[in-house]
Structure 1
Amino acid sequence: MAFVRVCSEDEVAPGEALRTESAAGPVALFNVDGEFFAIEDTCSHGQWSLSDGYLTGDQIECTLHMAKFCVRTGKACSLPATKAVKVFPVQRQGCDVLIDFEDGHFAA
């Protein structure tokens, strides 16, 4: 695992997202009440940025067609999306938030 520093935790307020670029493609980092989660930043249905969506609890709603995904698991929660997006391991070191871009995977 190769964790890379993405930001400090105060750069992403609770209920907000941050888009970051990686060799794996764009990744969205979400702050859910102080817990951080990272998923692919592209909706599996409409090829749209998820970091621009509406975060309610642990679900992000895509602004293109209103598909929802769980930011914890990457699983599609509502139509029209039926395919999950990849999740990436997140780690905190002090005030820094790190993502392992090499270990993106689909939840079991």
Structure 2
Amino acid sequence: MADWVDVARADDFLPGSCRTVDVDGVPIAVFNVAGRYHAIEDMCTHEAEPLSGGEFVGDTITCPRHGSLFSLLTGEALSPPAYEPVATFPVRVEDGMVQVKDDRFD
């Protein structure tokens, strides 16, 4: 069973910001979307480019390399050249700490 990994103190993680963390070798980007946290694998499915370097508007992120748009809520690829979704991960706030985990192999 995967463990929860600390991302940042909720008080320090402002709306409209992103934090990245490594969870067992998997880069995960966690976004604060108007006070709600969403986490995706920090890697474009079109070409291995970190998504956290892209433009984050509302609940979408644009890949900085070729402009594919992804939903932060579902991981769905919303525009080409990416067609495959990115993995999403559960996020919680526990004792004031934003936490994420990779539960794909539990």
The question of 1:68 aligning with 2:76 is answered no
What SS does the corresponding residue of 1:10 show, helix, strand or coil?
helix
Q: Which amino acid aligns with 1:45?
A: H
Query: Structure 2 length normalisation: TM-score?
Result: 0.89
What SS does the corresponding residue of 1:21 show, helix, strand or coil?
strand
Residues 10-58 of structure 1 show CA distances to partners (whole Å, capped at 9, x for unaligned) of: 3332112111112141100101001001100000012111111111110
Greater mean deviation of Cα atoms: 36-45 or 11-20: 11-20
The equivalences for 1:1-108 within 5 A come to 2-101=3-102, 103-104=103-104
The 1-side partners of 2:13 and 2:66 are apart by 25
Which structure 1 segments of 5+ residues have no match? none
| Partners of 1:54 and 1:63 within 8 A in 2 | yes
Q: Which amino acid aligns with 2:75?
A: G
Q: Which amino acid aligns with 1:62?
A: C
Which structure 2 segments of 5+ residues have no match? none
Aligned residues: 104
What SS does the corresponding residue of 2:11 show, helix, strand or coil?
helix
| Partners of 2:10 and 2:97 within 8 A in 1 | yes
The 1-side partners of 2:104 and 2:21 are apart by 14
Q: Which amino acid aligns with 1:44?
A: T
The 1-side partners of 2:18 and 2:30 are apart by 5
**Superposed CA RMSD:** 1.5
> Identity across aligned pairs (percent)?
37
